[in-house]
């Protein structure tokens, strides 16, 4: 699975009906990301046999407890398992102080280093980028400053058509062809045309995680045509007044954002503890955006689907 999202927690502020607070695990081309870390996140990682030791990047959307209170337990467990690799933690100002205070008063020193990356949730900022993936903040609207995260694969290399490769082709020729370039000799004459020896790249995919937010139409442009969108849907439409009061979204808010952004698939989560059964929640969202699914514990969503 080169692009797979596993849901660890789907509940709102309170754990309810076997649902855990928010946390998600994302694997893109063997890069392992944890998105938010509500209570019990490490237990969920173990339950679903996900490789905790491979997580090198953790993104925290905001500092309401249901989105980060599982973090200290996870950090200490990584220490007890003798982690040595650096851990990169992306969050707003304040989480670094919280963690350092825990370490100070428990007289603890971790076996690895935490690299804190502080971001401004009101700005679109590239937090992480390498040869294959970029992660950018999505400004949201909530009681506390809050940001979502947009994960995008970069354009992938062309694939070599092994049946058409010729004897005498050198490694540097193949490398150039995989970039999409033609190969020329020292005199500038065309030697190998890219289209004669390659197949199109595998499609690149994208995932947008929109944590706690009130209706926020300003993010639609950033979400245009993403393959997979997670958008909180704490309340059903009958509780719109409560959604407005708490600066959360309803099922129809999430579905309308998905429709306006023309996304491939919508996942909804962060469900209020007032809903024991979630089928009515899903059905309501599907009245506006048909390709909607529940982001509930243990479900893995792969791209391509």
Nearest to 17 by CA among 272, 299, 239: 272
Joined together, the tokens standing for residue 143 give: 């009681």
Question: Looking at the annotation, which residues are catalytic?
Answer: 66
Q: Are 234 and 243 in contact (CB under 8 A)?
A: yes
Q: What is the phi/psi pair of residue 244, to 5°?
A: -65, -45
Joined together, the tokens standing for residue 168 give: 């005498």
Q: Are 269 and 22 in contact (CB under 8 A)?
A: yes
Joined together, the tokens standing for residue 166 give: 């010729």
CA distance 232 to 71: 21
The helix-helix angle for 251-261 and 279-286 (nearest 10°) equals: 40
Buried b (16+ CB within 10 A) or exposed e, 11-39: bbbebbeebbbbbbbbbbeebbbbbbbbb
């Amino acid at each position: 699975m080169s692009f797979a999202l596993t849901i660890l927690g789907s509940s709102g502020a309170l754990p309810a009906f076997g649902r855990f607070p928010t946390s998600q695990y994302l694997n893109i081309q063997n890069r392992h990301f944890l998105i938010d870390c509500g209570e019990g996140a490490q237990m969920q990682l173990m339950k679903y046999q996900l490789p905790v030791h491979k997580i090198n990047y953790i993104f925290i959307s905001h500092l309401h407890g249901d989105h980060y209170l599982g973090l200290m337990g996870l950090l200490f467990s990584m220490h007890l398992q003798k982690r040595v690799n650096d851990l990169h933690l992306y969050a707003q100002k304040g989480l670094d102080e919280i963690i350092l205070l825990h370490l100070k008063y428990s007289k603890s020193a971790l076996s690895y280093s935490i690299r804190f990356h502080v971001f401004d949730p009101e700005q679109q900022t590239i937090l992480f980028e390498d040869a294959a993936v970029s992660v950018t903040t999505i400004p949201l609207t909530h009681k506390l400053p809050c940001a979502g995260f947009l994960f995008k694969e970069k354009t992938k290399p062309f694939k070599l058509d092994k049946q058409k490769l010729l004897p005498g082709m050198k490694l540097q020729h193949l490398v150039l062809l995989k970039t999409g370039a033609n190969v020329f000799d020292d005199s500038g004459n065309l030697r190998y045309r890219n289209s004669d020896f390659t197949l199109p790249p595998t499609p690149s995919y994208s995932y947008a995680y929109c944590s706690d937010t009130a209706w926020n139409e300003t993010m639609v442009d950033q979400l245009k045509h993403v393959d997979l969108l997670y958008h909180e849907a704490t309340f059903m439409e009958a509780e719109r007044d409560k959604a407005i009061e708490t600066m959360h979204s309803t099922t129809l808010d999430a579905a309308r954002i998905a429709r306006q952004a023309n996304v491939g698939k919508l996942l909804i989560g962060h469900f209020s503890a007032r809903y024991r059964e979630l089928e009515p929640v899903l059905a309501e969202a599907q009245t506006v955006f048909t390709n909607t699914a529940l982001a509930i514990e243990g479900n893995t969503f792969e791209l391509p689907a």
